[in-house]
Amino acid sequence: MHRARWISLGISLLIVLGLTGAWAAHHRALHQLRVPQTGTATLLLPGDGGNWLSLRSMTLTLSQPHVATHSLTAHVATNGHVSWEQLRSVRANNPIIPVLFADNTHPQREARQLVGVLNDLATRYHITHVNFVGHSSGGTIALAYLNLSRQAPVTVMHLVCIGADFPGIVPLTRHYPQLKVLNLAGMIDAVPNDGEVPLTDARQLAPLVRGHVASYRFKIIHGHLWQVEHSLLHESGPVDREVATFLYRPN
């Protein structure tokens, strides 16, 4: 019994040390990155039940003077009303905009509410081009938006899906000749999933977008449990670097 307790303590300590190291590496991941500054806004879309805590770490890591700027946060009420929290001016500074849905468990509804967010960005902040970065069902929200018949007057330039699967999503019906898609999936050690989403499910994005977008790339992020577990993928330095280099094309 005594030995079992020490083994359990040792395992817990290893997990804590692993997480601490991963978090430290996460926040150093983009320190040397220099990218062009543009007026294209990047919207961060959380997964099922996601909130500010889900997006905080990625937002803070991307929001560095030489990478991007956390300019706005969009708060979407259950009825779809959008209220804005402005932290910095919205200009040619790669604005980052987390989108927080009060009703955060219905991706199809969130996709329709996203139209209001984008309409506001176009009319109030004169944003004409956007990127989507969706974790888990945040990717579902983005795909569902791209299939809506009525969209906002903005052009979607990049889509990044992180640990996403796509239940209930049909192939794109519109053509997006400018849209580049990056699909990131986690693989814990030799196990072909991130603890929640199997690689086979993540790969289902390819047939949904094939022939309708400018490019599509699938990449597996390998690591240990504390690095690429489903809920930790948006806490990952390698993921942040992949996202930043894909969105902003470093100098």
Instruction: Quick: pLDDT tens for 198-228.
Output: 999 999 999 999 999 999 999 999 999 888 9
For β-strands 82-86 and 72-76, DSSP reports them as antiparallel
* H/E segment holding residue 129: strand 129-135
Q: What is the pLDDT of residue 2?
A: 59
Question: For 27-56, what is each residue's pLDDT tens digit?
Answer: 566 878 899 999 999 999 999 998 888 888
224-246 tens-digit pLDDT? 988 899 988 888 889 999 999 99
Domains with residue ranges and CATH for the chain: 2-248 (3.40.50.1820)
* Run of H or E residues at 215: strand 213-223
End-to-end Cα separation, the chain, in angstroms: 58
Q: What percent of the chain has pLDDT over 90?
A: 74
pLDDT on residue 74? 97
With vertex at residue 189, the alpha carbon angle to CA 188 and CA 192, rounded to the nearest 5 degrees, is 60
* pLDDT bucket at 167, cuts 50 / 70 / 90: confident
pLDDT at 4 over 80: no
pLDDT surpassing 70 at residue 80: yes
Looking at the DSSP bridge assignments, the partners of residue 223 are 188
Least confident of 23-37, 130-144, 171-185: 23-37
**Considering the entire predicted model, what is its pTM?**
0.89
